[in-house]
Amino acid sequence: MQGMKPTEDRELLNEEKDRRMHERFMRQAIELARRSVDQGGGPFGAVIVKDGQVVATGHNRVVPSCDPTAHAEVTAIRAAAEALGSFDLSGCEIYTSCEPCPMCLGAIYWARIDRMYYGCDQQDAARIGFDDSFIYREIALDPAQRRLRSCRLLADEAREAFRAWEAKPDKTEY
């Protein structure tokens, strides 16, 4: 996957017959990215939209919030879930000033966001020192081959918690 330029899914622009609306939301994400730099964060912004309305925005706050997970998309997703009162963001679209890293892309899947519009890509990010592609490559490897050393431990005992989940009658699945 690395090094391949993502193909545009142009239908996403045509079918809405409103490229200007998408561009407006993307410009808002880019403006958040630009302002984030002034505030000591990384140059990344994101906007989450539902039914043509902005639900939440986010920008990179890793340094100012002292939180390595506070990327623009994660921040916007957390804010959107709070605003909508649901961990399920089905029906939402995310506009992000840069193609998401694996952490943020994972968050987009967990949140069940329907569509993604992005500005810069991984290669642009790598050029200014954000090498998401290293993490993309690592995640695709077998755990034993990753740079991150890992070891399995107490698998049988760990499965006990899973059995408690299975046995719970009134659980909310997510």
The residues assigned a catalytic role are 73
Q: Is 169 in the site for its own copies (CB under 8 A)?
A: no
Q: Is 42 in the site for its own copies (CB under 8 A)?
A: yes
Give the number of residues in contact with its own copies, rule: CB under 8 A: 103
CA distance 80 to 55: 6
Minimum CB separation from its own copies for residue 91, in Å? 13
CA distance 140 to 33: 28
Nearer to its own copies by C-beta: 53 or 167?
Answer: 167
Q: Is 49 in the site for its own copies (CB under 8 A)?
A: no
Q: Is 54 in the site for its own copies (CB under 8 A)?
A: no
What sign results for the dihedral spanned by CA atoms 55, 61, 67, 70?
Answer: positive
Beta partners for residue 92, in sequence order: 50
For 141, phi and psi rounded to 5 degrees?
A: -85, 155
Q: Is 46 in the site for its own copies (CB under 8 A)?
A: no
Residue 58: closest CA among 6, 100, 11: 100
Q: Is 126 in the site for its own copies (CB under 8 A)?
A: no
Binding residue for its own copies, selected from 17, 51, 53, 155, defined by CB under 8 A: 155
Q: Is 88 in the site for its own copies (CB under 8 A)?
A: yes
Binding residue for its own copies, selected from 4, 20, 53, 169, defined by CB under 8 A: 4
**Positions 96 through 115 that interact with its own copies (CB under 8 A):** 97-99, 101-115
Nearer to its own copies by C-beta: 21 or 51?
Answer: 21
Binding residue for its own copies, selected from 17, 49, 143, 169, defined by CB under 8 A: 143
CA distance 81 to 164: 27
Record the tokens describing residue 19, joined without a space.
């490229």
Nearer to its own copies by C-beta: 52 or 121?
Answer: 121
Q: List own/partner pairs for 158-161 with CB under 8 A and 24 or more apart.
A: none
Record the tokens describing residue 29, joined without a space.
């994400």
